[in-house]
Structure 1
Amino acid sequence: MWKKLKKLILIIILFNIIFIVWGKFFNPPITITQIGGILEYGKLERDYISYDEMGSLVKKAVIASEDQKFFIHNGFDYDAIEKAMKKNEEGKKLRGGSTISQQTAKNVFLWQGRSYLRKGLEAGYTFIIELIWGKQVILERYLNSIEMGRGVFGVEAASLYYFGKHSKDLSKSEAAWIAVMLPNPKKYDPKNPTSYLRKKHNWVLKQMNNISLP
C-alpha cells in the first residue's frame, strides 16, 4: 500500500514538473475555471495571443488595477497581504492581497474559492513559476486565461466581446474598462458601469501614467 502511494505521489510530482515547464512555452489547453464557464454558461470565448500582440495599454491598465508592484516583487506582495489581513480581522469587506503571479498560479493550475489547501498550493506554484517562467510569461498567461465575463476568458476575447476590436487596438479608456472588471467579471459590465466602477475606471486611468513596462 505504501509503495503504491509513493508511486502515485511521484507520478503527481512528475506530472506537475512537466506541466510547469511546458507552461513556460505554451498557454494551458484549458483550465478548471474555463471548464466551469462552459458548464455554467454553455460557451468558452477565448483567443490566446502572444505578449507582443496584446499591446501595451491593456498590460498597463491591468497592472495599475491589480498589482502595481508586479515587476519588482518575487511573487508575493507582503504589504498588501498584511493590509488584507487587518481589514479582514476588523470585519470589513473580505479582500485579498493576491498578486498577478498568485492569480496566474490559481487560474492555470488550481480552482476558484477560498481554502487553506488551495492557498497553500497557490503559494507553491507561485514560487515555482516566478523562478521558471519569469515576469513576461506570467503576465502573458494571466492576460490570456483570466476570466473577463460570463464564459469569456482573456483580454483578447474580452476586447472583441465588449468593444469589437483587438486588444492591441484598445484606447486607453477601453483598456482601463477591461481592467476594472477583474475583481468581479461576472457582475461588472463596462457598457453598463456602476458608480463604483466609474470611479475605479478614473483611478486606473490616472495610475496607468505611473506604469512602465520593461
Structure 2
Amino acid sequence: MDFKPEGPGGDRLNETEGGAPSAERSRARKLGIYAGRALLLLFFGPAVLILVYAVVPPPATPLMLIRLVEGYGLAKDWVPLSEISPHLQRAVIAAEDGKFCKHGGFDWEAVDTALESYRGGGRLRGASTISMQTSKNLFLWPGRTFIRKGGEAYITVWLEALLSKRRIMELYLNVIEFGPGIYGVEAAARHYYGVSAGQVSHAQAAQLASVLPNPLEWRPGATGRAGTISARMNSVQLGTNGPCES
C-alpha cells in the first residue's frame, strides 16, 4: 500500500518539493531578462544618444561632472559651428588629427605606431582621432585602460556612421576641455582672450589648440607647440560649409 501524506501538512510538502525548482527557474528567467536588457542598453544606448546629439547640444559630459566634483568648476557655452572661427577649426585639425577628413574614425597608421611603441616597452598612447576624442568626451571617463579604449572605439563606429564630419567637429569644439573647468571654444576664447569664438585670430587659435594634450597643466602659448600648429594650419582646407564639405 502506498503511503500518501494527507491533510494540510502533506499538501505543503508537495508544494515545497515541486515549487523549489520552479522558483529557481523563475529567478533564472528574470536574471536572463535583466542581463539581456543590460546588453541591449550597452549595445544601442550610445547610438540612441548620438542620434539625440545630432540635433540637441549635450547638456554635460562625464568629464565635466567628474571635474566639477573635483572642484574645478564648470564654464561652457554652446555655439554653432557657423559662429566658430575657421582658424579654430583649422587649429584643432592641425594639432590633433590631420587626417580628420580622410578617415572613418580611426587613423590606423597612428594606431600601428602606438601599438609598436607599447610592445617595445613604451606607455599606452592614445593615437586618438578627433572622432575618438569626441566619443570619449561625450560618453566616457579619463584614462588609458584597454577597457576604456575599447568603449571609445565602439562608440566611434556609431559616431561616424550616424553623424556628419561637420556635426562631429561642432560637438568636439563645444565639449573639449581647454583648462580647469573650461569647456568648449566659446568659454575658452572668453576666458583667455576676452573675445567670442568667432573672433579668435589665427595666432590665438594655434595657442588654444596647443593646450589640448594637457589642458589642466598647460596654458595657451606656454609651450612651443603653438608655432608648429600655426604652420600646419595653412595646409588645412575648409569647405564653405565647414570641414570636409565643399
| Matched residue, 1:155 | 185
Q: Cα offset for 1:142?
A: 0.6
Does structure 2 conserve the Cα–Cα contact (< 8 Å) formed by 1:31 and 1:108? yes
| Matched residue, 1:120 | 150
Q: Cα offset for 1:15?
A: 3.8
The answer to whether the aligner puts 1:59 opposite 2:59 as a matched pair is: no
* Matched ranges for 1:41-190 at <5 A: 41-92=71-122, 95-190=125-220
* TM-score computed with the length of structure 1 as normaliser: 0.92
| Matched residue, 2:236 | 211
Q: Cα offset for 1:93?
A: 5.9
Equivalents in 1 of 2:80, 2:206: separation in Å? 20
Q: Structure 2: 5+ residue runs without aligned partners?
A: 1-30, 240-246
Q: Cα offset for 1:9?
A: 2.9
Aligned residue type for 2:195: K
| Matched residue, 1:201 | 226
Could you list the structure 1 runs, at least 4 aligned residues long, displaced by more than 6 angstroms after superposition.
none
CA distance 1:115–1:12, change in 2 (3 Å): same
CA distance 1:17–1:187, change in 2 (3 Å): same
Equivalents in 1 of 2:79, 2:58: separation in Å? 12
CA distance 1:83–1:16, change in 2 (3 Å): closer
C-alpha RMSD of the superposition: 1.6
| Matched residue, 1:38 | 68
The answer to whether the aligner puts 1:21 opposite 2:51 as a matched pair is: yes
Q: Cα offset for 1:10?
A: 3.0
Q: Cα offset for 1:12?
A: 4.6
Structure with higher Rg: it is 2
Aligned residue type for 2:210: V
1:148 partner SS: strand
Does structure 1 conserve the Cα–Cα contact (< 8 Å) formed by 2:46 and 2:158? no
Q: Cα offset for 1:96?
A: 2.1
CA distance 1:93–1:176, change in 2 (3 Å): farther
Q: Structure 1: 5+ residue runs without aligned partners?
A: none
Identity score, percent: 36
* TM-score computed with the length of structure 2 as normaliser: 0.80
Q: State how many pairs are aligned.
A: 209
| Matched residue, 2:5 | none
